[in-house]
A and B are shown apart, each in its own frame.
Chain A
Amino acid sequence: MREPSADRQPFGLMAEFCAPEQLVHAVRRSREAGYRSLDAYSPYPLEEMPQALGMNGNAVPWLCLAGGVLGAATGYGLQLFTNDAYPIATGGRPLFAWQPFMLITFELMVLFAVGFTIAGMLVLNHLPRLHHPVFAVTDFHRASADRFFLAIFCNDPRFEITQTAAFLQSLEPLRVEAIQSTEEPE
């Protein structure tokens, strides 16, 4: 799903709920009604949500695997290459000693896997993004404490401001509000 660019007016519609179950229900209903460009906001992860939103991406685990493989190859390759290019023959040790090489191979595998996982998560989430139109919605500061929000964005093919607002009202939220596009902060 792509969010609309921040200058579209209005950016979307937001409904506020006071319990996580209501939000999950609302997301399921919106999907059934055919809305696809939508997002939910909650203070903590809701287990049912990825399925309710129809998300089944596994990009992060794949990135983790890729990082691990690349890290292990880097670690082992680095030790092979340097021992070949700059041999230090001391203590009767063989030049290519695979047993001690495993230590650094393992450490670099972990380092790359975690680095790829976390960097990948941030990039896929388009974070950091310090400013976003949803922050201007009334009460949205409670999305990090005790309130639950559903947004339907204006780039959804079925989005029509009055009809969508009426649909959201039918889900019995605390309130429905238009998300105003906001200018970038000065």
Chain B
Amino acid sequence: MMMNLKRYQGSKMPCKDKISIESWEHDFLKEVVVLVRKEFYRVGTSTDSEKLIEDLLSREASHEADSNDS
């Protein structure tokens, strides 16, 4: 999926016009962002995002291991 920049997607953009958001980095960041928002809204605690990052890294590691296995 590519973000639709509509008419603003143009030659004057100082950085590249399109950015892929199908990457695992995006999913990783998204999960942290969602949790940070929850923390901000006092739904979670400040340590939740740290724990989440640990979980995401270990999840990524196991995913990587699975990929290697296959």
Indicate, yes or no, whether A interacts with B: no
